Amino acid sequence: MKRIIMIALALILCLSFVACNEEPAETTAGENNTTEAPAVSDEPTAEATEEGTEAPAFDGYKVTVTDKDGNPIEGVQIQMCDSKGCRMPKATGADGVVTFTFDPSDFHVLIAAAVDGYVVDTAEEYYFSNGSKELTIELEKAA
């Protein structure tokens, strides 16, 4: 009996590790942010054309986060949002850059979380201007 219980516990532990490695479901910007939206992939897509060939994959959006001196800031959590809701945040790399490869939309950017030492208003929205797919956000150091 103890052996069966130990095997069951080991199986549950393995399943919980697998579940922890899966990406959580996205939420839309609804009341209390609890409505789940369909999963949105940030992988490039290709659409079939009338001739049966595939169109080139969309190249995506690039967000760069720097300080006032132009130095990149690593680890800032960036979210891409549109009328359907916000996608899962991604962190900027050592170069202060994060890229997203979504189909074209009217996106705006939110900073979900900054790194220690910087001031961030998580409600402030940043917009791509004039059809650009690149955006630079400058953060202030905390006092």
Nearest to 103 by CA among 89, 87, 118, 114: 87
Task: Kindly state the DSSP code that residue 46 receives in the 8-state scheme.
Answer: -
Q: Would you say how long the chain is, in residues?
A: 143
What is the helix (H) or strand (E) element at residue 8, kind and residue range? helix 2-21
Q: Which domains occur in the chain, in start order?
A: 59-141 (2.60.40.10)
Report field, pTM of the whole predicted structure over 0.75: no
Distant-in-sequence, close-in-space partners of 60: CB < 8 Å, separation ≥ 6: 44, 99, 100, 101, 102, 133
Per-residue pLDDT of the chain (143 residues; tens, 9 = 90+): 766 665 665 556 544 444 444 444 443 443 333 333 334 444 444 444 445 555 555 578 999 999 999 999 999 999 999 888 998 899 999 999 999 988 777 888 999 988 889 988 888 999 988 888 899 999 998 87
